[in-house]
Amino acid sequence: MTDEIIVDVDPELGDVETETPETEPETSTPEILEPEKAEKSKELQSALAQKEHWRKKFEQVSKSAPKPTPKTDDEWKNKVEFLIKNREFNEEEFDHLANVSTRKGVSLEEAAKTEEDYINFRRQKSKNENKTPLPSQANYSVQEKKIDPTMKPEDVDKILEERFNKAQGENTGY
């Protein structure tokens, strides 16, 4: 079927005037476009749909996420007083106690009592880690001979040669 439009009908002559409209190719439908452009158009539409999907999902999550409540002066005062009384807690331990007290809804003092075993365990573990040398450091206490300006040139040459050979051995893996 052709795209002709009836413009005028003359009843006396019975003639029908028709026009063929000039149509521009539609850029919104991928069927009319070239295959490459249609593929790019589909990719663009897909990307836009993804963007819209993730934007809506982010809005839902941000609405449902709990908003942090600002700290009151009393809360700050309690934390400062607790730290002044209990100077033995380091920053990591205090953060842990603050999280526990917030989560359980108890005071910092009560959290310190309930978490005493955990804090002692962490302290003992860090002591043990500091005591035990790493295996690579165990036999590394070899001291090199120092070059002294009062040494004989032969002795200096011997020390330098030993250092050179040692360095070459380390570089080659032997």
Domain assignments of the chain as residue spans, ordered by start: 25-60, 73-131
Q: Indicate whether 103 pLDDT > 70.
A: yes
SS3 18: strand
Give the mean model confidence (pLDDT) for residues 122-151. Answer: 70
Q: How confident is the model at residue 53 (pLDDT cuts 50, 70, 90)?
A: very high
44-53, 70-79, 158-167, range with greatest mean pLDDT: 44-53
Q: Is 105 left (phi over 0), alpha (psi -120 to 50) or beta?
A: left
Side-chain half-sphere CA neighbours of 158 within 13 A: 7
Q: Indicate whether 101 pLDDT > 70.
A: yes
Both tokens assigned to 11: 């009843």
Using an 8 Å Cβ cutoff, are 61 and 55 in contact?
A: no
